[in-house]
Chain A
Amino acid sequence: MGFWNQLNTEFMARYLPWYVDAAKLTVTIAFWGILFSLAVGLVCSVIRYYRVPVLHRIVAVYIELSRNTPLLVQLFFLYFGLPKLGIVLSAESCAIIGLTFLGGSYMAESLRSGLESIEKSQIESAQSLGMGQMLMMKEVIFPQALAISVPGVCANMIFLIKETSVVSGIALADLMYVTKDLIGLYYETDEALLMLVIAYLIILLPVSILASILERRLRYAGFGN
């Protein structure tokens, strides 16, 4: 095919290291962003589930703010706006904080729907066995809720990895940034874009395949009574 023959492989080989570095940055930001999102999401989902007074209203406001604004706008505010308040953060920190601000609410909603899917009768039978709140949480509610949340949590992870592509907007040298750079500098558009797509496939395909395997396994081994 013409397209493949015309590719400048020498160019691609020369700039491969750029992509490797950029991919590392993308993965690093995604990794920390997802990890913190899970932590924030877990705390928020428990607060929402138990309707902790005051806090659950704050969490509700946070979730609405986070879900109804684009990450790019959140990042611009963090990176360009906050320094005017004397809060200066590195671009990486902004990216991770921004991703956590966004992802926390998505994780919270997935985890909460898992918690809420636990039937009341499960809780009552645990109570009738004399279990206290903490033990019940640890042994009965969480293990079941997490299993139910897995598909949602996986989908959020993929979503967050994809969302990292906007960090080029605050001048982080991620995959998008490098691609744009190469296109601007050398006009080797096809090569740059091809490497971009391949890089994202290499990052995202395994996660996506793993997610669907996990989801299928959970469905078949499902606890369904």
Chain B
Amino acid sequence: MDETIQLQAAGLKKKFGAETVLNGIDLDVHKGEVVVVLGPSGCGKSTLLRCMNGLEAPTEGSIRLDGETITSGGRNITKQRQRIGMVFQSYDLFPHKNILDNITLAPVKVQKRSKAEVEQQAEKLLKRVGLWEKRKAYPRELSGGQKQRVAIVRALCMNPEVMLFDEVTAALDPEMVREVLDVMLELAQQGLTMVIVTHEMQFARAIADRIIFLDGGVIVEEAEPEQFFTNPQTQRAKDFLQTFTYEKRKTS
């Protein structure tokens, strides 16, 4: 991780009608940094990620990628999106294309790279996540965990500078969560810049360089993972972490 700011939110506000979802977010993500965004449901985590990829237009403030403002619907948006990969909760593989075609579609058609070269990269990536044998299968033939790993490969194959992960394990059966998280851990170790929204607390603690705790549309607390999980500074963060622990029932 170096000090270059790669992705930046500045005074970011987002309203849906009368409802304010993000109320002034300032966040710098440095090159090679892994930022995990935590917070109760409805706190605006997903909206923050969606703004970062131009899927939602900010009501106020801006998102900048290497200093260049991302404008939803702007002329450069498709160019900018190629530099930011995003993986969704619902995988959203293209159901009418097989796994390999899912992965190669955008690099070949959008980035105009040679098919052979893209397929080579896809092979490398698929092998890394252990799904090379499934390259000819269709998404419906894969388990949720497998689909999600393919979705990650699909995004990676665009050679993005930043990856956004929006609750990628939330729709998975518990036994499949691990296989997806392991892939993400590996990516983090290789120094990919990542912004992750998740509900997996142990995973967050393991992967994050920095935790952002979001509540009510503002950043309530920002800390290194050890600090955040062992000694949260704000009451709201304490309450939030409390919901993930169970105390043994007293038998009397």
A and B associate in one complex: yes
Residue numbers of A with Cβ under 8 A of B are: 119, 121-122, 124-132, 135, 139-140, 143-144, 147, 222-225
Q: Which of B90, B91, B94, B155 contacts A140 (CB 8 A)?
A: B94
Contact code string B97-131 (vs A, CB < 8 Å = 1, else 0): 00000000110011100000000000000000000
Which residues of B have CB within 8 Å of A139? 94, 105, 109
Contact A128 B90 (CB under 8 A): no
Contact B110 A131 (CB under 8 A): yes
Contact B81 A143 (CB under 8 A): no
Contact B96 A130 (CB under 8 A): no
Q: How far is the CA of A193 from the CA of B246 in the complex (A)?
A: 80
- Among residues of B, the one whose C-beta sits closest to the C-beta of A129 is B106
Does B53 reach chain A (CB closer than 8 Å)? yes
Nearest CB in chain A: distance from B164 CB, A:
8
A-B pairs with lowest CB-CB distance, top 9: A223-B95, A125-B92, A130-B82, A129-B106, A128-B86, A130-B81, A130-B78, A130-B110, A121-B92
Nearest CB in chain A: distance from B137 CB, A:
13
Which residues of A have CB within 8 Å of B34? none
Number of A-B contacts (CB under 8 A): 74
Q: 18 other contacts beyond A122-B92, A129-B155, A225-B91, with CB at 8 A cut-off?
A: A121-B90, A124-B55, A124-B88, A127-B53, A128-B53, A128-B86, A129-B81, A129-B105, A129-B110, A130-B81, A131-B78, A139-B105, A144-B94, A223-B140, A224-B95, A224-B140, A225-B140, A225-B147
Contact code string B24-51 (vs A, CB < 8 Å = 1, else 0): 0000000000000000000000000000
Which residues of B have CB within 8 Å of A144? 94-96
Which residues of A have CB within 8 Å of B155? 128-129
Does B210 reach chain A (CB closer than 8 Å)? no
Contact B139 A225 (CB under 8 A): yes
Contact B55 A225 (CB under 8 A): no
Does B217 reach chain A (CB closer than 8 Å)? no
Q: How far is the CA of A41 from the CA of B158 in the complex (A)?
A: 36
13 A–B contacts, CB within 8 A, in A order: A125-B93, A127-B53, A127-B54, A128-B81, A128-B84, A130-B106, A131-B109, A132-B110, A135-B110, A140-B94, A143-B96, A223-B95, A225-B140
> Given A124-B88, A128-B155, A131-B78, are A225 and B95 neighbors across the interface (CB < 8 Å)?
yes
Which residues of B have CB within 8 Å of A222? 140
Q: How far is the CA of A135 from the CA of B94 in the complex (A)?
A: 14
Contact B109 A125 (CB under 8 A): no
Most chain B beta carbons < 10 A, residue from A119, A222, A223, A225: A225
**Total number of B residues with any Cβ neighbor in A under 8 Å:** 31
Contact A132 B78 (CB under 8 A): yes
Most chain B beta carbons < 10 A, residue from A122, A128, A223: A128
Q: How far is the CA of A225 from the CA of B142 in the complex (A)?
A: 9
Q: How far is the CA of A140 from the CA of B70 in the complex (A)?
A: 24
Contact B109 A135 (CB under 8 A): yes
Which residues of B have CB within 8 Å of A128? 53, 55, 81, 84-86, 88, 155
Q: How far is the CA of A121 from the CA of B155 in the complex (A)?
A: 15
Which residues of A have CB within 8 Å of B94? 122, 126, 139-140, 144
Nearest CB in chain A: distance from B136 CB, A:
15
Which residues of A have CB within 8 Å of B53? 127-128
Does B13 reach chain A (CB closer than 8 Å)? no
Contact A223 B92 (CB under 8 A): no
Which residues of A have CB within 8 Å of B81? 127-130
Q: How far is the CA of A210 from the CA of B223 in the complex (A)?
A: 64
Q: How far is the CA of A126 from the CA of B84 in the complex (A)?
A: 13
Q: How far is the CA of A144 from the CA of B140 in the complex (A)?
A: 14
Contact code string B129-151 (vs A, CB < 8 Å = 1, else 0): 00000000011100000010001
Which residues of B have CB within 8 Å of A225? 91, 93, 95, 139-140, 147
Nearest CB in chain B: distance from A137 CB, A:
12
Which residues of B have CB within 8 Å of A130? 78-79, 81-82, 106, 110-111, 158
Q: How far is the CA of A49 from the CA of B82 in the complex (A)?
A: 26
Which residues of B have CB within 8 Å of A135? 109-110
Which residues of A have CB within 8 Å of B54? 127
Does B14 reach chain A (CB closer than 8 Å)? no
Nearest CB in chain B: distance from A194 CB, A:
45
Q: How far is the CA of A130 from the CA of B55 in the complex (A)?
A: 11
